Every structure is written in structure tokens, then in C-alpha cells.
Structure 1
Amino acid sequence: MNNKTETGALDEPVMELRLHSFSEELRAQLTALTSAQQPKAIQRLGEELDELGQWLNERYNELIRLLEISTELNKGILLDDILVRIYTFFKDIIPYERIGCALIDDDGENVTAYWAKFTYATEPKISKGYSAPLEGSSLQAIIDTGKPRIINDLERYLERHPESESTRRIVAEGIRSSLTCPLLADGRAVGFLFFSSTKKHTYDGLHQEVFLYIAAQVAHLIEKSKLYEKIVGLNQRLLAANQQLREQASRDALTGVFNHGAIIEFAQQKLNRAMRVPFGIVMLDIDYFKQVNDTYGHIQGDLVLRKVAATIADEVKPSDRLGRYGGEEFLLLLNDVTEEQVLAVAERVRAAVEHVEVPTENAPIRVTISVGATYVPPEAAVSLTEILQCADEALYRAKNNGRNQVQLGRL
């Protein structure tokens, strides 16, 4: 094996030396034969050379196909993709109606079915997640030898090994013969490939070295794909954690609605859009909230803030945005609305808050809100500061006019 190049061909000097030696040996054998024996010997030699040439041609085509399969398998990154490629491209080399893959758990104690694909309509008896102990099993023996195992009559095998639950299941699927290849990566067992047929004696005379070569390739690809999937999983968890952190950073710690910075950013983004839809901005302020804190204390005051925030959120669409503007004041951003709808939502929210009750040891706390609303048409050429000032002036009018009411401010 050490005299081969990377492509499997012999170096030219070595080839010439071997051809010369073969020619000399053949010449010596023919010289030793009598004249009567030579024609038969030459005929027999020709037949053997034809057989040898046919065998070499088959092995050459097999090798070329293996190289093509290796190229295809290396295109896969995720494990499922690699296994589907195996199922697709191995048909020219080995017959099967079913291919399965089982992986050895990280602790090495169990082997678990990971993937299977088959051509028949029978319901699978061994599906993903099916697990069995490895120690003491026939699969452990395959790992110990490092060689594929062929069972050409599974029904007979089951009769001799009635304790084999996996064999019982696969026979129930209609499988009658199997080839099991160990997947070894750098000498370490990572799993198994199962080639299965519904016919007996399907795998007689197969060259096991071919499948050892394939299995070695697959084992390393599986290790690579498992590592890649771990990296992808870690990256997804990292992105989710970052998103959660961003979400937490944009939320008001007390009420859970968006904080001042976040709600202002949402409003500015909506205003900056080139193809803008109409929207509304509503300012809401809890009436006489200082008296709530003075009378009931800040703990009860915090409960009132939470209850009011939750009540407002329940009255608007998921696409709308609610933020705590400051203290007892909230800012509501209404998406894709008319002026009439802005007023209707503002009034609905006001009425809902009016019915809020926060229980105490004595009488429950009841509060009202004053509301200033502004409608922003798509064509409005205004700044966010001007919009907020308009809503704030409307809120001021609502308070001056007796509170617990909605006032509209027009730009």
C-alpha cells in the first residue's frame, strides 16, 4: 500500500519492474512446458487474463464511483443532509430498500436510532429515538472487530437469538437481510449504518473493504456535522439570549411595557418611513396619582401603575406599542388608523381604566386617566417633537377641563 500514489496508481518505475518480473516468470513457465502442453496452457492463461481484466475493470469502476460518492457526501454539512445523500447515491454500489443510522450516545452506554429512509409502505417499527444498551449486544461485537456484519437470513437469525428486540422489530417491517457497518472516526465508534433488504441473501459476496472505506468517510462526516450542529445550536441560543437582553433593556422594569427610550424610538422609526401609513400618538396620565402615593404608599402606587398599564395593553392591537413615558404617564402608538379610530381607541382605554380596582385592606383604589390624542396623516411634514407637543397640549386641556376625558390635538 505504501507504493501507491494518492490516486491509487503505482509509481512508473515500480510498475515497470513488476511487469518485467511477471514477463520473465511467465516465459520460464512456458519454456518448462512440452510442445503439446503449451497451446492449452496459453489458452487457459488467456481465459484467466480475461477474467482478471474483467475483475480489474469492475474494481476500477467501483473505485471511481466511490470517489464520486465521497465528493457528494462532502457537500453535505448537516447530518440529515449527509444521510439523504447516502440514500441517494449508494444505490449503484449496494442494493437496499432501507437505510438506517444509529448514533452512540455521548456516554457510550446506549445506541439510539437517529434516521431511516425506506422504499416500502410498511409502518416503521424502529423509529427515531428508539434506544438500546450497547454493552453486551451484537453491535458491540461489530465495534470490537471493526468489520461490517452481514446477516443474510434475519428470520433464521431471530430464531437463534429470540432476545434481540431490534431484530424482531426489523423483521416485522419485512426486512430479511442486512449489512451493518460500524462508523469509526479515528478509531472511536460513533454509530452504525444499516443497509437492509426485503430479500434474503442480498449481501452474499459483497466486498466488505468497500463499505469499510465508505463507513470511515461517513463517520468523519458525522463528527463534522454534529460539531457544526452544536455550533449552530449555540449560535441560535446566543442570538436568542441577545434578543432577550435587548428586549429586557427596552422594557420598563415596573410595568413591563416599553420604556421611554424604546417607545420614542418606535415613534421615530414610524415617522421616518418613506412609505408611511397613518398613525396616532396618545398620551395618558393617571389623575391625582400623587394622592394615591400619599394616601396608600408607594407599594400600592406601584400596583396601580402595573394595573393601569396592563389594562391599556389589553385594549389595543398587538401591532400597537405602549410605553411608560415617565412617572404616571404613558405613551400609546397606534398603527394604521384614522382620526376617528384614534379617538375611539383613546375613549375605550379611558373607560376601561375607569373601572380598574386595586384591592387594599380597606376600600379598593380606583383611578381615572386624562388623555391627549394626535392623528398623524401620511403626508404630514412634522417632527416627532411637534407631534409629542401637540399630544401633550391636548392632554393639558383634558386635565384643565376636569380630567377623566379625551382631547384631540390636530397638527
Structure 2
Amino acid sequence: MKDTKDIIIFDPHIDGKRLNSITSALKKKRYSVRGFRTVEEYSLHIERSKPDAILLRLPEGLSAKNLKLFTDHAPIIGVLDKYEDRLIKKAFKAGIDEFVMLPYNAAEIHLKVECCLRKQLRNTELERERKHLKAIVEITSLASSTLDPQEILYLIVKKIAEIIPVIRCSMIRVDNEHRYAHVVATFESPRLKSITLDLNKYPEIREALATRTPVVVNDIKSDPIMTDVRDLISPLGIKSIIVLPVFYRDTIIGTLFLRTSRSGREFADHEIKFCSRVANTSANALYSAFLFEKSENEKIHLGKLAITDFLTGLYNTRYLYHRLEEEFSRSHRYNIPLTCLMVDIDLFKRINDAYGHKTGDHVLKEFAQILKKNIRKSDILARYGGEEFIILLPNTSKKGSMSEAERLRLCVKNHKFKTLKGKQSLSVSIGAATYPHKDITTNDELITCADTALFNAKDKGRGKVVVYK
């Protein structure tokens, strides 16, 4: 706030001597007074400087043209040479509710100006509070209508940036090791997220993390917190920074922080309080959204576990039969081929006997990855049991099954297993069966025929591919 208040007196009848007397008396009250007799003089001045208050001679100042010019700039105090009910009522309608009587009295002017400025400040604060409360109600309402944390986070930073002039406003999540922070929402764009920040370059976030309290950097050039990074930040034009932990029942929600910064001037107390209110108000909705997201992720994880073989990470037999039924039905409906490959590691028992079951498990994992890397995205690979695996190949003919099975057999043969001494290789036997076939009318029969072909491959000496005929 400036030290000297600028006061304008608009009075067509004021003389220079009286104006000088008032100016001199009010100068002691730290008032700078300028007098104008014509609208033209006032208009030229107002383009260069905005006053804190205007003393307007009535009734001259109440013309529609003059009134619009004056009321746009500052609080107005009416100047009367006598009380007239009609004139005062007209002034009230125009928004003038403070008056001084002629002759001008410096003490009375000082009192009325201070009264107007206090009233203006109170109205400004009330209007600001109304806007802040409206914004908080909107955030609460919208945040309660969604269970998407990302949507809530963006809503928070967007609303803050609408109310407070800032150059950055972000929600930040800190990793468990407290080495990096991740921007999870920023007001510039709802799609802009997952930006990684090195916490060594953000001491204000480290301070908020350590103290679990809001951190306000009023001036990065002088605040000791910013000493180590001052040279990095200064060229960015940032003057002030706020970092607020987002709490729910005294717990920081997933080490979530609201960080905002601005250039030009430091944050006012009411702006800091508004940001803090938004963070606190949103915490409940955010916590519910995070719980919902965690629950959904756990459902997805449990769902994945239910269809996954715990050792190899491939699909299990439960999922295999589910997909087999779907693919067989599709193959039958559209008359397209479906091939089943049954793959078995030859003499796998010898590995368990020679190296132990733990090494055998590692071999199975490595073997599963070989198969996974060498099949198409449309193929379905599952562990059938023990050292047996099944691959379903949609839209693959009998001829194609032979070439595909042989390709996989050679991939395994040429691979040196890291978990075996001397990086030995292994051989596999593969049985293939393709629908349509006269012996295959159900999905179970497709598996049975592939199993029969596998048995024949082993019977012929292992390390071979046999297609069911």
C-alpha cells in the first residue's frame, strides 16, 4: 500500500487560495491533493494517475456524463453548500453516501476520506471472500461428483489459477524415497501430467515435506530456503512460491502438495488462506477418490492374479479354457482355422533331479519368456501344467501350424539357458492340431488331439514337431 493518498477535488467554483490551504493542511495527513475546475482537466489527469478518493461538488458533478467519469475511478464524497433533501436523495441513488459541507475543512475531509477508504476496503474484502467461497463451493460440488482423482486435481489447480494471478499452479506427488516429485496436475492443461522433478532443485518442497507445514517463499532473492537454487530460479522471473501439504485427518494424502508461484509481487495473506482452504476442502473428496482408485486397482490386480500362473506370469488353465471356448466358437461361426500347439520340455525331470526344483523353476520362467517373445500378439500362451504349455493360434491353418511350431522349436534349441551350468540348451516336443478337422467337434477335442500329437512326437524320439492327422 502506498504511503501517500491521492485526493482529487472537482469543484468548478474553488479558488486557488482555498485549494492551496486545503492542500497544505492535508499534506500533514500524508494526503496529496489536486483540484480541477473542468471535466477536461480531470480527464487528462486520470489517464496518468488513479486517485484514492474524489471530492465532487454537487450538483454539478451529478450530470450523467460527469458521474460516469468519476464513479469509475474511486470512492466519491459529495460536496454541499447546503443540505437539500432532493439533492442528497439524488446523490444516494448515484452511489454517493458520504458528504462534506462547505466551506472546506481539512479535518472533516480527512475523516470522510478515511471512512470511505475503510468502507471500500471492507467491500473489497467481502467481495473477495464471496468469490473465494463461491470457488470453494464449486470445487466441493464438482469434486464430490466424481471419483476420478485426476479430474479433481485438475479442478483444484484450474480454480486457483482463475482466482489468483499465478504463472504456475500444480499438484505434486512425492515418491516414497523423497528423491523425486511428480507433477500430477497443472492448470495449463488437463492432459499435462507425470512430469518428474528432482527434489534437489526444489528446496521449498523438501521443506514442506520435512515440516509437514505450509511453506511460503515471499521473495526467492532473499529467502534462505532458496539459497542453493537461487541462480537457477532467478532467470525464470519467479518472485514468490507457496507449497501446501494436502491433509486428510492429519495425514498427508500420498505426499500430495499444492505448489504455486508468481512473478511481480509476493502472495497476500488472503491468497495464501484461499489456497489453504482449497487444499483442505478438497482433501475429503480426494481421499475418497484415491480410495476408490486403489480399490479399482486392487480389483484389477486380483483379476489378473486369478488368470495368471504364479510362477511364469503366463495365463493359467482357467483363462486358457475361457479363451479357447471363445476362439473355437469364432472359428466355427466364421469357418476360419484355429490351431492348438502343445509344447513340452523334454526330460525336464532330469533338470529338477540334477539342479533342484529352484533351478527348475528358473528354467521354466526363462522358457516361458522365450515362447512369449516369439509368438504373435493375437496368440494365446498359457502354462498347462508342470513343463507343458499351450499356444492357441487363431486364423492359423494346418500348414501354418507346422511352420510355426518348427520355428518355436528351433528358438528353444538355439537358446542358452542362463540358469543352467554351462548355459545348456534344451529341446522341446510339440504336438499340433488344427480345427476344422473330422475328429474335432468341440474345443476339448482340439486339446485332446494336440495332446495325442505331442505323445507321438515324444514317441518318435523327442525334439520333434508332430501335426495331428
SS in 2 for 1:382: coil
Q: How many residues align?
A: 333
2:138 to 69, 72, 92: 72
Comparing 396-405 with 330-339, which one deviates more in the overlay? 396-405
Pairing 1:272–2:329 present: yes
Pairing 1:235–2:290 present: no
Distance of 1:352 and 1:185 partners within structure 2: 55
1:303-357 alpha-carbon deviations (Å, 9 max, x no partner):
7973765654554335433344345543322233233221101122334455577
Distance of 2:400 and 2:166 partners within structure 1: 64
Write the letter of the residue equivalent to 1:245: L
Pairing 1:87–2:134 present: no
User: Which position in structure 2 is the counterpart of 1:20?
Assistant: none
1:322 to 368, 381, 395: 381
SS in 1 for 2:441: coil
User: Which position in structure 2 is the counterpart of 1:251?
Assistant: 309
Give 1:280 deviation, angstroms.
Answer: 1.0
User: Which position in structure 1 is the counterpart of 2:466?
Assistant: 407
Native 8 Å contact 1:397 1:407 kept in 2: yes
Segments of structure 1 that go 5 or more residues without pairing to the other structure are: 1-35, 106-111, 119-126
Pairing 1:165–2:210 present: no
TM-score normalized by the length of structure 1: 0.55
Give 1:226 deviation, angstroms.
Answer: 4.4
Native 8 Å contact 1:308 1:356 kept in 2: no
2:452 to 387, 393, 397: 393
Comparing 337-346 with 304-313, which one deviates more in the overlay? 304-313
Distance of 1:173 and 1:314 partners within structure 2: 47
User: Which position in structure 2 is the counterpart of 1:39?
Assistant: 83
What is the aligned-residue identity percentage? 19
RCO greater where, 1 or 2, for CA within 8 Å and sep 6 or more? 1
Distance of 2:419 and 2:125 partners within structure 1: 89
Distance of 1:289 and 1:113 partners within structure 2: 47
Native 8 Å contact 2:340 2:391 kept in 1: yes
Comparing 332-341 with 312-321, which one deviates more in the overlay? 312-321
Distance of 1:42 and 1:100 partners within structure 2: 53
User: Which position in structure 2 is the counterpart of 1:131?
Assistant: 203
Residues 115-194 of structure 1: pairs in structure 2 closer than 5 A: 130-132=202-204, 158=221, 161=222, 163=224, 165=226, 172-174=235-237
Give 1:65 deviation, angstroms.
Answer: 4.6
Comparing 292-301 with 229-238, which one deviates more in the overlay? 292-301
1:220 to 280, 288, 303: 280
User: Which position in structure 2 is the counterpart of 1:98?
Assistant: 167
Distance of 2:449 and 2:92 partners within structure 1: 101
2:403 to 318, 338, 344: 344
Distance of 1:37 and 1:362 partners within structure 2: 111
Give 1:45 deviation, angstroms.
Answer: 8.8
Write the letter of the residue equivalent to 1:82: I
Write the letter of the residue equivalent to 1:51: I
CA RMSD of aligned residues (A): 5.9
Native 8 Å contact 1:257 1:323 kept in 2: yes
